[in-house]
A and B are shown apart, each in its own frame.
Chain A
Amino acid sequence: DAGVIQSPRHEVTEMGQEVTLRCKPISGHDYLFWYRQTMMRGLELLIYFNNNVPIDDSGMPEDRFSAKMPNASFSTLKIQPSEPRDSAVYFCASSLPPKGYNSPLHFGNGTRLTVT
């Protein structure tokens, strides 16, 4: 199993540009999560999907952020337009359904975003 795959690993962009982060979850995992991590705020849940359907997007900071999951093996997180305060590490994670202890999260390596 290849694990959760994220791309790119690093992204440096200028303020105002569009940024697209990509994620491929572990095959068979019904849940997909997008987290953002900063020193000040720790790991924050942005949005999560169940069977490709967004369940809770209350963590999405504002309308500049959008996420899609067109199929079970691919998701994107888009920021348009990007701002310097969006600089953070963005993690994608996937899991089995939340019943029981067989449902921990498996994280990708993350995308380190820097907006100048």
Chain B
Amino acid sequence: RKEVEQDPGPFNVPEGATVAFNCTYSNSASQSFFWYRQDCRKEPKLLMSVYSSGNEDGRFTAQLNRASQYISLLIRDSKLSDSATYLCVVRGGSQGNLIFGKGTKLSVKP
């Protein structure tokens, strides 16, 4: 099993749609979880951290399920500017390194 797995997509959705991405991780000792966004030919940028109780930032909602070892990202009312690749990121317990999923590509169409 890969350390961090994501559906590569692409997810092609119309503007205004709600879209959800899931991500699974293999290391049960993982402690920190993030969603990053990467635009074409740019560096990854932090979208939001994922807290155990779930958290929301505007149109974006992140959830963590430790028992099932998966993370989700929900985007409501999709905008054209949301088109990007979304990377699920997991940081281990005693280790400092972050493990990135390969990303899920989202394309929002008019």
| A complexed with B | yes
Residues of A that sit less than 8 Å from B by CB: 31, 33, 35, 41-43, 45, 48, 50, 55-56, 91, 95, 97-98, 100-101, 103-110
Task: Report the Cα distance A110→B100, complex, angstroms.
Answer: 16
Residues of B that sit less than 8 Å from A by CB: 31-32, 34, 36, 42-46, 49, 51, 87, 89, 91-92, 95-103
| Smallest Cβ-Cβ distance to A47: which chain B residue | B97
The answer to whether A48 and B43 touch across the interface, beta carbons within 8 angstroms, is no
Known: A42-B103, A43-B44, A43-B87. A105 touches B98 (CB 8 A): yes
The answer to whether A101 and B32 touch across the interface, beta carbons within 8 angstroms, is yes
The answer to whether B34 and A98 touch across the interface, beta carbons within 8 angstroms, is no
Among the listed A35, A98, A100, A106, which residue makes an inter-chain contact with B96, where contact means beta carbons less than 8 Å apart? A98
* Contact residues in B for A106 (Cβ distance below 8 Å): 46
| Smallest Cβ-Cβ distance to A104: which chain B residue | B46
Task: Report the Cα distance A83→B42, complex, angstroms.
Answer: 24
The answer to whether A98 and B44 touch across the interface, beta carbons within 8 angstroms, is no
* Contact residues in B for A56 (Cβ distance below 8 Å): 95-97
Q: List 17 A-B contacts (CB under 8 A).
A: A33-B97, A42-B103, A43-B44, A43-B87, A50-B96, A55-B97, A56-B95, A97-B96, A98-B32, A98-B95, A103-B91, A104-B46, A105-B44, A105-B98, A107-B44, A107-B45, A110-B43
* Contact residues in B for A107 (Cβ distance below 8 Å): 43-45
